[in-house]
Each structure stands twice: as C-alpha cells, then as structure tokens.
Amino acid sequence: MNIEKLIHYIVLSEPEVREHISQVDGIYNVGANRTTNGVYPLFEYHEIGGTDTMYADDSPEFERYTFQVSYISANEEYRFLRAKIKSAFRKAGFIINSEYTVKNAYTNLFHYSIHIKIELDDSLFKHMLDKYETIYNEIQPVGKDEKLPTGFYYDESSNSEYEIVDETENMEFIEYDINSTE
C-alpha cells in the first residue's frame, strides 16, 4: 500500500490548505521524507511506524500505519490551518495521535506537525486512493511531471547548495527505423 501517495492526495484535497502551499513550476510543494527545494510554505510527511493487525487466527487482516505530517512555513499561518489540516485527515479516516509546533532556532521556520494513524486493508485502501486520486487529478493536471526543475537548491540541514540538472531538457532524440538494413 502506498500510504505516502494517499497522504499526498489528502493534503491537496482541502482547498483552504492548498491555497497556503507554495508551488514550483505548477507542482505543489508536498513531499515524503524531505522536500528538497526549500520553497515555503510546504508539507513533508514520513512514516513513524507500521505493523500488521493480528487476530485469533494470526493472519493479518489490516495494516496499521503511523505518519508524521508537517506544515513548514516562515510565519504563523499554521494557526489558521490547524483545524482544516486535521479535518482533512479525519474525513479520510485517520486518527490524530498528537500535534505540536516547533520553531527552528536556525531557520526561524515554524514546523506544525501532527501524528496520524490508520488501519487499512487492501480494498479500503484502493477505495480511498481512487477517491482522493480523482480529486487530485482535478487539481493537478494529469501528465504533469512531478519532479524538481533544473536549478540550484539549498539544503538547510547541511547548509549547502546543490544543483539539480534535468538531463532530458537538452537531449536530442533520433528516430531509427528498426527494419532498415543500413
């Protein structure tokens, strides 16, 4: 189950939350584990834990997932979004385990985080993914390539700048006739 994809879709499903997320080349800045381009405000999420849910017959019926979802911004706008963020996950069936806010002393960025938990079986997961993917496809055009554009990016954890190069930007594509004897 690709819970990360589901979380990505849920974050973007709430219009008032979506309005407060930066975009890079039309792509909302929402990512798993680390959002590398550092354009704020943004969402990051990562798995804290997961396990099978066992019953008397010892065969897993459901899988339990716990994630941390963080909204990171340069100002305190998270205060106005807290209820909307939590509501979006509750509507999807997640349970909010905890929430907290930290201001990073080095970057002066606010990190509003919630820990969410859900138990899913394959059929429920597929149903939820289909539902939220439909919403997502209305927001983010199908076929839009979700990758960072060529450019320089700053990594706040290492205080270093690096360059991402899309090697397909300037490639020449040559057609060959596979039936040719030349």
CATH number, domain of 114, equals 3.30.2000.30
pLDDT value at residue 173:
47
Neighbouring C-alpha atoms within 13 Å toward the C-beta of 144: 15
Q: What is the pTM of this model?
A: 0.70
Residue 157 covered by a domain: no
Report d(CA 83, CA 114) in Å as an integer: 11
Residue 46 covered by a domain: yes
Confidence of residue 142 (pLDDT cuts 50, 70, 90): low
Residue 168 covered by a domain: no
Confidence of residue 179 (pLDDT cuts 50, 70, 90): low
pLDDT value at residue 103:
94
Per the structure, the complete domain to which residue 23 belongs is given by 3-147
> Mean pLDDT, to the nearest integer, of 50-62?
64
pLDDT value at residue 2:
84
Neighbouring C-alpha atoms within 13 Å toward the C-beta of 59: 3
Residue 94 covered by a domain: yes
Report d(CA 81, CA 73) in Å as an integer: 12
Residue 160 covered by a domain: no
> Mean pLDDT, to the nearest integer, of 95-107?
93
Taken in order 106, 110, 114, 120, is the CA torsion positive or negative?
negative
Write the pLDDT tens digit of every residue in 146-174: 566 667 776 666 777 777 776 555 545 45
Report d(CA 81, CA 71) in Å as an integer: 9
- The residue ranking higher by pLDDT, 181 or 128, is 128
Residue 85 covered by a domain: yes
Residue 175 covered by a domain: no
Report d(CA 100, CA 80) in Å as an integer: 14
Domain count, the chain: 1
- The residue ranking higher by pLDDT, 115 or 150, is 115
pLDDT value at residue 29:
86
pLDDT, mean over the chain: 81
**In this prediction, what percent of the chain has a pLDDT beyond 70?**
73
Residue 155 covered by a domain: no
Determine contact, residues 16/84, Cβ cutoff 8 Å: yes
